[in-house]
Structures are given as C-alpha cells and as structure tokens.
Amino acid sequence: MNSGKPTPRRSCPKADTQPQSVSANHRSPSKKGVPSKAWTGRLTEPTHELVERFTSSLPFDRQLFEYDILGSLAHCQALEKAKILTRAERRALVRGLERVRDELRENRFPFADSDEDIHMAVERRLTELVGPVGGKLHTGRSRNDQVTLDLRLYLRDHLQTLESRIQDLQRAFLGQAREHLNVIIPGYTHLQRAQPVSLAHHFLAYVEMLERDNARVRDTLKRVNVMPLGSGALAGNNYPIDRAFIAKLLEFPALTRNSLDGVSDRDYVAETLGVLAIIMMHLSRLSEELVLWASSEFSFVDLPDGFCTGSSMLPQKKNPDVPELVRGKTGRVYGHLLSIMTTLKGLPLSYNRDLQEDKEPLFDAMGTVLESLVVYAELIRRLRIRRDVLSAAAGSGVLLATELADYLVNKGVPFREAHGIVGQLVRYCIERRMEWHNLSLADLRAASPRFSKDALRFLTIEGAVDRKAQTGGTSRKQVTRQMNAWEARLAKKLKT
C-alpha cells in the first residue's frame, strides 16, 4: 500500500501545453440566474450563479491539479505527524486523493456546478469518495497558502523544463556554427554593412544570449523554490504542523518566514514573467533577422518549407510565418508582464482576490515561450545557408575599411587621422563605383604615403576575420575554441 508520501514530479506532464478548458466536463446550471445551493455559514444568501461563473478560476487553474494533490499528500503526512489525523484517516485520504488524481489524469473527473476552483473541486470529490474524513484535509491550511504552494510547484517544474528547452536551442545553434565555421558574412551596425564576421560567430551570439536567459531562469528558481504552506489565511495556524517536514517531503530547500508575505507574495510570478519576456525579446530579434535574411533582398538563408506558408492569392510567395508569429507573440508575453505588475501594484497585505489574475497570464506566457523554443530549435537545425550569396555579400563593398585604418595606426598614424584618410578612399571607391578589393597600391599611396605593399594583405576578408583573435573576437581559431567550450558545457548539462 502506498504510504502517502508525495513524490515530487521532475517535469510537468503538460509542460508545453496551454491551459485547457473544462467545458466538456464542467456541468453548467440548467437555469440562468438561479442562485447556487452552496454557501458558507456567514453569508445570508447563496452565491448567485452569475457570480459563481464570474469568479470561477476552474477553466484555467485545473492544470494545477497534479500539484494540488501533491501538496495535499504532504499535508496529510504532516497532519498525521501532528496527531490531527489517525493513521487510518491518513490512509483513507491518501487513497481518495490518488483516485481523484487518476480521474483527473484520465479526463473522467465529475466536475460539479459548485466547483469554484481546482482546490474546491478536489476536496469536494475527495469527500464524496471517502466520506466526512475528507473534511479534515483542510485543517491548518487555507486556500491562500494552498494556491501559492501549487503555483510554486508548477513553476519549479516548468522552469526546469524551460532551462532544458533553452539548452536544446543552444545545441541547434552550435550545430549550425560547427557546420559553417568558414562561412564569412557581413556584420551589421544600424543595419548597414560594417565588418566581416564568421557566420559561426554570429550564431554563437545567440548561444550567449540564451545562456544569460538560462542564468535568469536558474536564479528565479531559487526564489520560487520556497515552501509557503503553513501560512494559513494570513497569520499562520493554530496546529503543531511541522512546516519543515512538509518542505522536506516536497523537496523545498527553504520556508517562507512571514505568513502575511507567504500568502500574498507574487514577486516570483512577476519575476518569471520578466524572464519569459526577455527570452521572447531574444527570440524576436532572431525572428527579425530571419525575416530579413530570408527575403529576396537578402537571400542569405532559405527557411525550411515546412515552417513557411504560401499565399492564398500570390502563387510565388513563401512566407516566414514562424518567425513572424514568434515576433508577434513577443508582444503578448510583454503584455502579460505588464498585467501582473499592474495587478500587484495596488494590493494591500495580505491576500486579495485580485491575485486570482496571476495564473492566466503566467500559464499563457509559459506555454508560449516553451512552444516558441521548441519550434525554433527544429527550424534552426533545418535552416539552409546560402553560402554563395553570403560570400558575394561579404566580398563586396567597403567592409575592409577599418582594416586599412588599423594598418595606418600600426604605421604610427593617429587613429583619427587614419580614419579620415580611409574615409577619403571610401568616397573615392563610391564615386567610381569601384570595389574596395580592386584598389591598387598606387590608389592607396595617393591617399597616404604611409601605405606600403604589405597593405594589400589587409584587403582580404579572411585576414580581416582571423586578425580578431582576442577572446570574444570573430577569428576562426577563437570561434573554434568557443564552440568546443560550449559543446562540452552543454553535453555536461545533458548528462545531469
């Protein structure tokens, strides 16, 4: 027989999905406007059916059921330890909770009209299954500390899933970097061609961004992974419940230290949404580059057909729908961050019903980001690089101008003077519609007598790339070192 000890879930079974509707199983009242028959002793009239529907969070918080039952199993253990439950009562509650969990997992849970949220639905069904002892489960806890426990358990799972998804996208970029180490592209500032860089170096820039995202995920997890159960409604509880025991069962390394803060804190939700917004910002920057690079004006890359759509009217179109949608969804995630910040800014201590509005934006943002990471990892793996176009782009124009300025500096010319001399050469090429690499030694010496024959060696893109050999530079030797380091690092994470 199961002892009732909860087993923390290492990953959420629906980590990549959006909140599910309960309309199929949730029975609606047959008569509109008829008050519910369920009410508490303090109130003189039952909750109106319109209010029940307005205040219900069941359509979105039902996805917390695994965590709600996990927390309840731990609470059962603590109640027995405190001698509030007998062993037989605890065993009955555990069996009932496991049956409820099975019904919810198998989508055969009989929701009732009076189910205000997933917590009340579970308790109501538990009592139907085990009898009056089901009413003892809520001893020493409130929905206020119960819901924040569920939310923290949810986030602990999902943040770990998020870290894994980010690493998967990093591996996709590393694969492309390794394959295209010798491909040189124009690097841009202000969307104007600036200096040549290796394509691998460009891809590694996204690996770096994503690593910072993962660092933020791990840091947020430290503040999420704190156990609030035992805070009660706001002041704690009157029972000898061992909170440290519950924390150990649920593998929380720390407890909340103030009951008022414990039930009303949603900083961790706001922080998570901030992290998710930054991740989407990085993905949106990637989206913008892919949209540009896949256009006819650039033609640097070819997006896989399976990640694009055609036009309902224009037969020639191949639309970059995935990058555009990720770019568009970024605004939605930003909106969710603003939503929670606005909800929290005016709340007095401690719990207020406004906090029910924390879940929909969080669930939607988390699902959006997880899905975006998954689709982008596969797209990047299948991205086709148009080497011929990139080679032509990197070899044209005046990408090597700074190389000549640096050459003059090495000959003793002050940089500002060297900058002006090379600027004159740039204008000379533009006026004559002349490619930079076609400059002769005579052309160079006409601009400055400091140019010698060895200056011509500075007019190759390979040399320009490989001279940037310091840490963080675009030289192929340095980029190879970075790729090797990243591959070892991510392989180690994969094993853990």
The span from the CA of 420 to the CA of 251, in Å, is: 65
User: 1 vs 5, 71, 248, 249, CA distance in Å?
Assistant: 11, 19, 22, 18
Q: Could you give the angle at the alpha carbon of 344 between the alpha carbons of 72 and 228, nearest 5°?
A: 25
Contact 119, 146 (CB under 8 A): yes
Cα torsion 407, 410, 414, 416: sign: positive
Q: Which has the closest alpha carbon to 226: 243, 205, 208, 204? A: 243
Q: Hey, what are 87's tokens?
A: 């062993």
Strand 192-198 and strand 184-189: the pairing is: antiparallel
Active-site hit among 28, 190, 296, 440: 190
Q: Is 119 a catalytic residue?
A: no
Residue 198 DSSP symbol: E
Active-site hit among 11, 23, 311, 452: 311
Q: Hey, what are 329's tokens?
A: 């969804």
The span from the CA of 91 to the CA of 232, in Å, is: 24
Residue 1 DSSP symbol: -
Contact 277, 337 (CB under 8 A): yes
The span from the CA of 50 to the CA of 48, in Å, is: 5
Q: Could you give the angle at the alpha carbon of 71 between the alpha carbons of 82 and 343, nearest 5°?
A: 120
Cα torsion 360, 15, 373, 312: sign: negative
Written as one string, the DSSP assignment of 148-166 is HHHHHHHHHHHHHHHHHHH
Q: Is 48 a catalytic residue?
A: no
In the numeric block, the tokens 């799972």 are attached to 157
Burial call 383-408: b when 16+ CB within 10 Å, e when fewer? bebbeebbeebbbebbbbbbbbbbbb
Provide the annotated active-site residues.
Answer: 190, 311
